[in-house]
Copies of this chain bind each other. A is one copy, B any other.
Amino acid sequence: MGRIGKSTDEIIEAATQLIDQNGLNNFQLGDVAKKMNMKSPSLYNHFDGLKDLIRAVQIKTNEMLFEKLQLDTQGLEGKDGFRKLCFAYRDFYQEHSGIYETMTIPIDKNDKELKRVTLKPVRLLTKFLSTLNMREEFSIHMVRFVRSSIHGFVDLEEQENLVIQVDAEQSFNILVDMLIDGIWRKSELKCNK
Q: A-side interface residues toward B, CB under 8 Å?
A: 104-107, 109, 118, 137-138, 140-141, 144-145, 147-153, 155-156, 158-164, 166, 168, 170-171, 174-175, 178, 181-183, 185-186
Contacts and interface: CB of A to CB of B under 8 A. Distances in A.
B166 A107 contact: no
Q: Is the interface of A mostly helix, strand, loop or mixed?
A: helix
A109 B160 contact: yes
Contact of A155 (B137, B152, B164, B168): B152
A14 to B, nearest CB: 24
Contacts of A183: 178
A55 to B, nearest CB: 14
A144 B153 contact: yes
Q: How many copies does the complex hold?
A: 2
10 contacts: A140-B171, A145-B171, A145-B174, A147-B152, A148-B149, A148-B152, A148-B153, A149-B152, A151-B155, A178-B183
A109 B149 contact: no
Contacts of A151: 152, 155-156
A86 to B, nearest CB: 12
Nearest to A178: B182
A186 B178 contact: yes
Contacts of A145: 149, 171, 174-175, 178
A140 B166 contact: yes
A159 B186 CA distance: 28
Which residue, A149, A156, A166, has most C-beta atoms of chain B within 10 A? A149
Given A140-B166, A145-B171, A178-B186, A155 B104 contact: yes
